[in-house]
Structures are given as structure tokens and as C-alpha cells.
Structure 1
């Protein structure tokens, strides 16, 4: 039923009330390990997306020409998505809760001559004025590290009528096939799909870290409808056939058969 999903999310988020500080500390501690990755992505001629580098030519997550658009990246991390939007002539604001990630973003943006406003803050409550942006995006930022009911309502508030939101995060299948100890995903189910809310990875010994959020597809749809977003497109991402190895606790062979990530394209009605 429409309206039930937000309540469920709030109940589950309350189980880990310090998720924002947990995730902030985790990303501050891990920031140095993402500098080379950030430099590589900032330097790309064309954007690639997600864990396995699916191409912008295939996915079309960004408008080709963003001249005159005011855009915001929610949970920007090292800011390379903001850099891609700046290159497409958008006026870009980027917000992240991690000071260390932002330090990397600012340093690389300066090297590239990018004119981006970086803000240290919570993407669930930015403090920015209503209806300030034409386009919003999140790739593994607010899209998984913030409570969906909170950050999506904030994105709605920030967008002008007719504004678009695009966000990329883990596909529900990648979570329910991941062992609870954080070891790589397997070809079996390890947790219930029904009433999915996400996962607390704070005590695992393997790669996943912090508290991440995810929902069943029907719960995402209910939440969008409750807020007022219209879904304009939905994409499921797989690893390209030439990829090998394991990334972010997902083996390539698994990700060639099952969607590892999902992309939602939303629009705030006029």
C-alpha cells in the first residue's frame, strides 16, 4: 500500500540511529584509498558508471548538454560526477558528509579548473533553498548511505517543477545474494527479500562497510508515489562480458548473470 514504505524505512533506520555518523567515520577513514580511483574518473573523456564501468553511451544518465542547468550531486564523495556535469556546462553544487572525501574532491577539481560549489553536510537535510535545481544525481552516495525516505524527500524539495533525479545503487538481488559476513555474493539467497531495508556492515571482516539502505522494487515504487515522483525509466546493470575478478564483493561471473546495480530516473511533475 502506498505510504507504508516510509514507515518501514523509519523503523529500520531507528535500529541503527547513528548510521550517519557511522558512515561519515567510515568514509573519512577510507578516503585515502579512493584518491587514485577519483583521479582516474575525473580524467575520463566520457563517464562510466557503477562498479563495472558501464558506459554513458549505453546508459545516458546525464543530459548531453547541461548549459543553463543548475545541478546537484547528493553524496558526491570525490566529486567526479560533479566534474562530468561541470564539463557539460552545468552550474554544479555537490554535498557530502565526509570532510576527507571532500578534500580529495576539491583538490582534483582545482587541478581540472572545475567551478563546483562543494558543501560539507548531510544530503538528507542540505539546508539549501527550495526549488533550487533542475537536475539531481547520486551514484553510490545518498542513494545507498542515506535513509531513502529522508534523502528522496529532500531531493524533491530541492528540485524545481519538471526537475529530474537520477540515482544509481545496489540492485536488491546483489544484497540478498550476499552472505551476512560480507564475503562475495553467491548464487544463492542469504537473506529475505520481503521487507528489505538494507544492511549493517559495521561488524563484517570483508569489504562492505558502514550502514547501507536498499528496498524491494515495489517498496521503491511506493515511496516514489508517496513523495510525488514519476518514474520515467528504470535500468538494471550487469558486468560487461569482458570483465573478470571480484569488485566490491561481487564476482564478475555473478554480475554477468544477475543485475548488480539499478538506476532510477525520476521526474518531479510540473
Structure 2
């Protein structure tokens, strides 16, 4: 198995290219969104209620990318800190901070090893950041270290179903299983980066081993009015209206450690 440094280098190089081709151009729109939504089909937080009231909370976003999630949290009254390992993504985030006059700290670091003290945050969040691109055996314990006792972890990742149904060469998921669930926890797509897709049982084990109690698993679908996104086209709106395209987990750290 490759070591973590190799995975980091590959993923950083990938997201430097992705930022230049896609995410930099879409960052302004993502930052300008008036409502907090989750995932490819903009499921509204007001309906899901995964975050709860974040006003006054210290929040760390693990794998923040262009930091639009942190921006939305800041507008809700939180004090976010964004962490990402790709300088190009953070450059885009800083430009958006200036455009929207919404400053908060941004740190270049791997979410598996964050240079911040223990017990610094009330909430840790990841939307398609560390939750997909970092080893959960490393980043989930790191999130636990960073959280204060009783702190919460909320993260969004690909659903198990879509991971098993996306063609290896890319494109939309179909209605057939294309790979076994066993052995799919760590994947590298042709020409892509390293992704991590544990099963539900594996996620529960990892969370429990890190001291978390699972609060909820929200399986996200596309609404009847949703349109298929042009970017990150892993599933059509029709597919995501039948099967969950994303898993949104919420967990709470035990009040006492150990």
C-alpha cells in the first residue's frame, strides 16, 4: 500500500488542475448562495437540520477547498477555520474572502494532521473534503482530537450505492453494481486521485473507535425539480431521485474521553 505522502501529493496535483478547470470559475456562485444547502442537488439544511444552531461556535472545515461551506457558516454566526492541502484552492478562497468581505483563517494542511491545538473547536465539518479525499482511519481521529468534549462532527460523502455503480472510466451511475463493496474502501480512479469510501458498517466502527456516538445518517436524494449538475457528473437527477447519491453523517464526541 502507498504511504500517506504519496496520496497527498497525487491529490494535491489533481485538485490544482480541478481548481484551474472548474472550481475557481464556480467559486463566486458558491460563495454567493443565500441558503445553506448540501451536495450536488442542493438539499436545504433548513429541512435536514444536520448542523443545528452554529451561531457563536468555533468550527473547523476539513478539506475546505474554496471554503464556500465555511463562508456559509460564517454568515450563520459561526467562527470558521478552513483547512486544505491545495494552495490553488486556498488562493481562490482568499480571493472570494476579499470579494465578499468575509475574512476567516485559512490553513494549508492535510486534514489528517492539522497544526492546531487539542480541544479547539465545537464543530468539525466536511463536505466532499476530508470525507472523501483523506483516510478516515486518520482524519476522523484527528477531528476528535480537535473537538472539545461533546463537540460534533458533520460530514457529507458519496453514498455507498453511487460508489458501487459509477463506471470506472467516469460518467453517470447506472442501475447495476459495477464493483464489489468488499475492497472498495480505498479507490483510485484511472487518471484520478485517491478516494476513500467505507461502507456504513466501517464508518460506524471508525467513528466509535474515535470516541464518537452516531446521531444520524441522512441519505440524500435529488428532488423532483432537481437538474443534473454539469460538474461532478456522477449521477443524473433521475438516478438520484431513486437511490441516495450522498450520505450526510452527524456524530457527537463523548463528553469524557477514554
TM-score normalised according to structure 1 size: 0.89
Query: For residue 9 of structure 2, what is the aligned residue in structure 1?
Result: 21
Out of 220, 223, 236, the position equivalent to 1:251 is 236
Q: What CA RMSD, in Å, does the superposition of the two structures yield over aligned residues?
A: 1.6
Q: Deviations over 1:160-179 (max 9, x none)?
A: 00100100010011010112
Query: For residue 216 of structure 2, what is the aligned residue in structure 1?
Result: 233
Out of 39, 48, 71, the position equivalent to 2:59 is 71
Is the 8 Å Cα contact of residues 59 and 81 (structure 2) preserved in structure 1? yes
Query: For residue 154 of structure 2, what is the aligned residue in structure 1?
Result: 166
Query: For residue 90 of structure 1, what is the aligned residue in structure 2?
Result: 78
Deviates more, 1:56-65 or 1:87-96: 56-65
Query: For residue 151 of structure 1, what is the aligned residue in structure 2?
Result: 139
Structure 1: gaps (5+ residues)? 1-12, 204-208
Q: Does residue 219 in structure 1 map to residue 202 in structure 2?
A: yes
- Counterparts of 1:170 and 1:57, CA distance in 2: 21
Is the 8 Å Cα contact of residues 132 and 160 (structure 1) preserved in structure 2? yes
Quote the offset at 1:15 in angstroms.
7.7
Q: Deviations over 1:228-268 (max 9, x none)?
A: 11001110001111124455221221111000000110110
Quote the offset at 1:181 in angstroms.
1.7
- Counterparts of 1:169 and 1:129, CA distance in 2: 26
Q: Deviations over 1:121-142 (max 9, x none)?
A: 1110012101110111000000
- Counterparts of 2:76 and 2:171, CA distance in 1: 39
Q: How many residues align?
A: 252
Quote the offset at 1:202 in angstroms.
3.8
Structure 2: gaps (5+ residues)? none
Out of 37, 56, 65, the position equivalent to 2:26 is 37
Q: Does residue 263 in structure 1 map to residue 251 in structure 2?
A: no
Q: Return closer, same or farther for 1:198/1:174 CA change in 2, 3 Å cut-off.
A: farther
TM-score normalised according to structure 2 size: 0.93
Is the 8 Å Cα contact of residues 92 and 115 (structure 1) preserved in structure 2? no
Out of 80, 98, 117, the position equivalent to 1:110 is 98
Is the 8 Å Cα contact of residues 202 and 211 (structure 1) preserved in structure 2? no
Q: Return closer, same or farther for 1:113/1:61 CA change in 2, 3 Å cut-off.
A: farther
- Counterparts of 2:27 and 2:61, CA distance in 1: 15
Q: Deviations over 1:42-84 (max 9, x none)?
A: 11111111011111112223333412x1110000000011101
Query: For residue 140 of structure 1, what is the aligned residue in structure 2?
Result: 128
